[in-house]
Amino acid sequence: MQEQKTVLITGGNDGIGKATAAELSRSGMQVILACRNEEKARLTAREIQEQAGNGQVAVLPCDLGNMESIRGAARQFKEQYGRLDVLINNAGVFTSQLEHTREGFELQFGVNHLGHFLLTHLLLERLQQAPGPRVINVSSIAYLQGQVDFDNLRGEKGAARYNGLKAYAQSKLANVLFTRELARRYPQLGAYALHPGPVRTRIGNKHSTWYTSLGWQLLKVFMTSAEKGAKTSVYLATTPGLESARGQFFDDKQRQRSLSATAKDEALARKLWEVSEDMVGNRK
């Protein structure tokens, strides 16, 4: 009998993450929802258990904007579980105005990249214990517009010069560069990045000005469902034979896409990795 696989999904209580968790639970995996809002996550876990008929859905409190919380989540995982087969770094935030994480990093870079960077590092040992482990980073084709401004990762240039879309693109480029460097440094890991497509989530409503939120709300009519948005994450988590695609980027049709020159910049990926290690206090 095949041993049950364990998957941890950040932001698994809503949107794409919830749809991904539900589908993977239906496939028979043990699903762990790593979420900031523990109460909402527990309601989601019960809902998935009832719908999927799989009792193996658990909650792990984890605030990606708080490194102490991330370290606590990693400790709790290690205390309660064995190996980790799949880590899906799904959670994301968009803000139209300058905000910061607990440690003072620009919110989008801090949550979308640094939080997942630290969590992945803290769980590497458990991933390496699994046969064919995978790390799946939910990025976006918005990365194509991104540049990493190493002099402004804490919002040093000020709120007046803050551009939310530019900061989002930067964080999504960081996801891709992290995926590339993770695959290079740990070739035994199946590290993949993906674009889920334009999905009707609340990401554009939570930390936005009223007019940005309204614009996002109006655009939702042209967007796809969270269930469709989850398909590529599910594909990368479950499909065998993807070894040759490690470090690559997939789109919402489960197709491997060619990367931009910036995303393939190995020196940039190494620099981001090293700077990120310093920022999260995980330099070896």
What positions carry a catalytic annotation? 168
Across 174-195, b (16+ Cβ under 10 Å) vs e yields bbbbbbbbbbeebeebbbbbbb
Q: In angstroms, rounded to a whole number, what is the distance separating the alpha carbons of residues 70 and 58?
A: 17
Identify whether 107 is part of a domain.
yes
- SS3 call for 226: helix
64 near 116, Cβ under 8 Å?
yes
Structural domain count, the chain = 1
Record the pTM. Answer: 0.91
Contact 95, 164 (CB under 8 A): yes
Range of the domain at 198: 6-280
The pLDDT tens digits for 164-215 are: 989 999 999 999 999 999 999 999 999 999 998 655 444 444 544 544 444 4
Q: What is the pLDDT of residues 104-146, one digit of tens each?
A: 999 999 999 999 999 999 999 999 999 999 999 999 999 999 9
Would you place residue 15 in the very low, low, confident or very high pLDDT band (cuts 50, 70, 90)? confident
Helix/strand/coil percent split, the chain, to 5: 50, 15, 35
The answer to the question of residue 1 being in a domain is no
**CATH code, 20:** 3.40.50.720
